[in-house]
Amino acid sequence: MMQLIQQLAACKRYDFSGWFLAEASLCLEGEVRSISLEVCRKTERRAVLQVLGWDEGGRCRQSLTVLLVKPLSLSREIVSAEADGAPDGEVLWRHVFSDEEIQDYLAVSGDANEIHRGKGAVVPGLCFLERLLSSMDEDDLRWRCKFRKPVYAGEELCLVETAGGMEGYVGGRLVNTIERLSYKERVHDEINNI
């Protein structure tokens, strides 16, 4: 997965510093030989980027499609919200991202987004997914993650199981949802649904 993230971070065609990750679709089906990046759509406040990984036979084996949005303001107060209530379901995973962990991720991934810098930075959404993936015993997966609210360094993120996947909570507020996609769906074709 890190190869896909690094390719995404290497996009120099546009400056996405200050933008937030709103949605990510991820498909991992095996090893890849080459990787390509495409900016599929870009408007003033929204962009869809897609990274595809190809095997030796030219088959797409990995994909990462992201929807980035540019907020009207970077104020932390704007994204704070009332708690949605206690999460229901079995707790699958808990993690507190430290400032150091975020900086280590930024150094490896090449992500230069300003919102991930400094004390109490926004946790990179792909850092969260990469960390979650490394803690799971899944070789092949297809996920669609929707990021509803930012998670900040030092906050505990708690994932609970739902019927269709997982939900992430911080202090009782819903911050993200992860949907497990069926293997019949081609994740890299999901771009038309973003």
Please give the average per-residue pLDDT across 67-87, as a whole number: 66
Query: What CATH number does the domain containing 121 carry?
Result: 3.10.129.10
pLDDT of residue 79: 47
pLDDT of residue 84: 58
- Per the DSSP assignment, residues forming a β-bridge with 35 are 53
Contact 175, 169 (CB under 8 A): yes
Q: How many domains does the chain have?
A: 1
Burial of 161 (0-12, 13-18, 19+ CB in 10 A): middle
pLDDT band of residue 168 (cuts 50, 70, 90) is very high
Range of the domain at 41: 2-193
Could you tell me how many residues make up the chain?
194
| pTM for this prediction | 0.86
Give the C-alpha separation, 84 to 94, whole Å: 18
Q: Where is 95: in which H helix or E strand?
A: strand 91-96
Give the C-alpha separation, 28 to 173, whole Å: 29
Question: pLDDT of 29-48, one tens digit each?
Answer: 989 999 999 999 999 999 99
Question: pLDDT of 100-146, one tens digit each?
Answer: 999 999 999 999 999 999 888 999 999 999 999 989 877 778 999 99
3-state secondary structure of 158: strand
